[in-house]
């Protein structure tokens, strides 16, 4: 078994205490916290190397090491052959491939094949010494299928607008699998939430599955409230994670080792992809991504410097079998917002208003909206769902969301209102016609005419017809005029001149009942249709 060596500075201290301080071997052992036999062994090696104290100034640590520990002679005939050495590359891959595999188990398997093999403590020590010579990215203990690291590269790629000739920067998204370093990259126009989520979805499709954890930086597109201990994720980002069965664990601010994999991946992408494309001209984002895909394939097939495999080979052996399957349908991008319901029981999304049950007026709700649907949730329960409308401004109202009084109001179309007025009397009909055409907007006239119905209930049909007769005679088409006539009982006074049923209303805008019919759309707006 190889001799365990002290650090060179400690060996020099042993020699100094012996030759300069003239301490005994026992005292030196106590001062240096080593065994007496160790002190004796180093003194013997010093004597065998014919070294004097003080050591020559020209003698550095490497030269002193070679003098104290000369290379062992090759085994001669009759000597025992050297003990077999473990394949620590295979040991390293085994540990990453399965989280249940331990050094104890791998040592036992090694001893089964080589009964003359080393002790367990030496096996562990040699493996750790071997692992210290790997790159920092590979030294981390990442299990197969456990983590995906994501980030954006610092450098961008210029894309020329073919119409204007102006250049525009495209950002480069990078995703790296923890165990194999298998890398994905793509270009997007922005680093906003839609592109951030879309890049994640396409990365999982490229990997052919999902790892258990996604490790991003605490980037504002995915993290609403950064925090060292408990960052608050964006609602859309969290919903994407739930849909794909993964957990989002943002890296801690100021802890580069939390995302060392993607930092190294970003560095490689910048060196081997962004830098390689710097002299090429692109006129669309699709051209950029085609070029990136070609170079990413080459990067994943390039062998490691200190491991025998490539990223692609490790991915196929380690990560690919351990990835979770993707859901049958990809995530449909949805955004969330919080809002308080307006008094008219509507909420606003991108300039359009959608109804909710009127009982929720002034209540806080959550709104989830995609390119096709708008959902409103109250205390986690969906209370309304509408097809997405892009009309600005516009209103989408479901009748069942309105109170009964508003529903009854919507049932009264102008045509039905004219029929109601005809049943009261011919002058009430003429008054309604005049109200409909005298207002600058049909809906305003409709609302004014609807105000006659409460007056009919309050004063009766006979008095309303009499008031309408006087109003038509004197061209008084405002609702306040009718209300004043009834309140002051002018409807019960004789008219200066009787207006007969055959006499038409003298106004340029009144063309007769047969000229038009009116319909109301679902928002209550009146549309005049020529007859």
Tell me the per-residue pLDDT of 123-161, one tens digit each, with 9 for 90 and over.
888 888 887 766 544 444 578 888 898 888 888 899 999
Task: Write down the pTM of the prediction.
Answer: 0.50
More confident: 282 or 91: 282
What is the distance between the alpha carbons of residues 125 and 135, in angstroms, rounded to a whole number?
18
Domain co-membership, 161 together with 299: yes
The domain in which residue 107 lies consists of 89-133
Domain co-membership, 111 together with 36: no
Domain co-membership, 478 together with 509: yes
Domain co-membership, 179 together with 284: yes
Asked if residue 53 has pLDDT above 50, the reply is yes
Domain co-membership, 372 together with 421: no
Domain co-membership, 363 together with 312: no
- Is the residue at 1 inside a domain? no
**Ramachandran category for residue 379: left, alpha or beta (phi over 0 → left; psi -120 to 50 → alpha):** left
- Is the residue at 161 inside a domain? yes
Domain co-membership, 314 together with 454: no
Kind plus residue range of the DSSP H or E element containing 232: strand 232-233
CA 379 to chain CA centroid, Å, is 23
Count up the domains in the chain and report the number. Answer: 5
Domain co-membership, 375 together with 474: no
What local confidence, expressed as pLDDT, does residue 515 receive? 45
Compute how many other C-beta atoms are within 10 angstroms of the C-beta atom of residue 35.
Answer: 11
- Is the residue at 201 inside a domain? yes
At 277, which CATH number?
Answer: 3.30.420.10
- Is the residue at 139 inside a domain? no
Domain co-membership, 400 together with 417: no
Asked if residue 215 has pLDDT above 70, the reply is yes
At 25, which CATH number?
Answer: 1.10.10
pLDDT bucket at 287, cuts 50 / 70 / 90:
very high
pLDDT bucket at 78, cuts 50 / 70 / 90:
low
Domain co-membership, 40 together with 154: no
Domain co-membership, 160 together with 291: yes
Nearest to 438 by CA among 481, 469, 395: 481
- Is the residue at 219 inside a domain? yes
What is the distance between the alpha carbons of residues 505 and 229, in angstroms, rounded to a whole number?
79
What is the distance between the alpha carbons of residues 371 and 379, in angstroms, rounded to a whole number?
23
Q: pLDDT digit string (tens) for 172-209?
A: 999 999 888 899 999 999 988 889 999 999 999 999 99
Asked if residue 460 has pLDDT above 80, the reply is yes
Domain co-membership, 207 together with 311: yes
- Is the residue at 76 inside a domain? no
Nearest to 431 by CA among 484, 395, 471: 471
- Is the residue at 84 inside a domain? no
Residues 42, 44, 47: CA angle, nearest 5 degrees: 110
- Cis geometry, peptide bond prior to residue 231 (ω within 30 degrees of 0): no
């Amino acid at each position: 078994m190889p001799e365990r060596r002290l650090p060179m500075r400690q060996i020099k201290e042993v020699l100094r205490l012996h030759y300069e301080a003239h301490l005994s071997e026992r005292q030196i052992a106590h001062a240096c916290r080593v065994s007496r036999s160790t002190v004796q062994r180093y003194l013997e090696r010093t004597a065998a190397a014919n070294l004097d104290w003080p050591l020559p100034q020209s003698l550095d640590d490497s030269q002193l090491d070679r003098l104290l520990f000369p290379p062992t002679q090759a085994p001669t005939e009759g000597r025992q052959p050297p003990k077999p050495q473990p394949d620590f590359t295979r040991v390293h891959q085994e540990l990453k491939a399965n989280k249940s595999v331990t050094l104890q188990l791998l040592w036992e398997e090694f001893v089964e094949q080589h009964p003359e093999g080393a002790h367990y403590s030496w096996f562990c020590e040699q493996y750790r010494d071997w692992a210290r010579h790997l790159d920092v990215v590979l030294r981390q203990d990442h299990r197969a299928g456990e983590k995906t690291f994501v980030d954006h590269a610092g450098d961008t790629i210029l894309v020329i607008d073919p119409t204007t000739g102006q250049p525009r920067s495209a950002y480069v998204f990078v995703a790296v699998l923890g165990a194999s370093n298998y890398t994905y990259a793509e270009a997007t126009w922005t680093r906003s939430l839609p592109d951030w989520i879309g890049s994640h979805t396409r990365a999982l499709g490229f990997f052919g599955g999902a790892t258990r954890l996604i490790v991003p930086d605490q980037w504002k597109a995915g993290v609403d409230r950064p925090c060292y201990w408990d960052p608050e994720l964006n609602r859309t980002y969290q919903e994407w994670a739930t849909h794909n069965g993964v957990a989002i664990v943002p890296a801690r601010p100021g802890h580069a080792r939390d995302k060392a994999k993607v930092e190294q991946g970003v560095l490689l992408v910048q060196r081997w992809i962004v830098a390689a494309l710097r002299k090429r001209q692109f006129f669309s984002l699709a051209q950029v991504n085609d070029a990136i895909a070609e170079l990413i394939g080459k990067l994943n097939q390039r062998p490691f410097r200190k491991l025998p495999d490539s990223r692609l080979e490790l991915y196929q052996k380690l990560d690919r079998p351990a990835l979770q399957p993707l859901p049958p349908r990809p995530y449909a991008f949805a955004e969330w917002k919080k809002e308080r319901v307006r008094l008219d029981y509507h909420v606003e999304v991108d300039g359009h208003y959608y109804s909710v049950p009127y009982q929720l007026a002034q209540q806080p709700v959550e709104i989830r909206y995609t390119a096709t649907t708008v959902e409103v949730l109250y205390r986690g329960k969906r209370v309304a769902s509408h097809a997405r409308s892009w009309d600005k401004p516009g209103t989408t109202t479901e009748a069942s969301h309105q109170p009964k009084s508003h529903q009854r109001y919507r049932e009264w179309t102008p045509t039905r209102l004219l029929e109601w007025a005809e049943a009261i009397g011919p002058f009430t009909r003429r008054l309604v016609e005049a109200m409909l055409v005298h207002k600058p907007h049909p809906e305003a006239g409709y609302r004014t005419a609807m105000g006659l119905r409460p007056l009919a209930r309050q004063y009766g049909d006979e008095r309303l017809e009499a008031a309408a007769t006087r109003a038509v005679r004197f061209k008084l088409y405002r609702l306040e005029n009718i209300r004043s006539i009834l309140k002051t009982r002018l409807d019960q006074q004789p008219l200066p001149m009787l207006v007969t049923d055959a006499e038409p209303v003298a106004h340029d805008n009144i063309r007769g009942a047969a000229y038009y019919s009116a319909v109301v759309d679902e928002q209550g707006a009146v549309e005049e249709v020529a007859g």
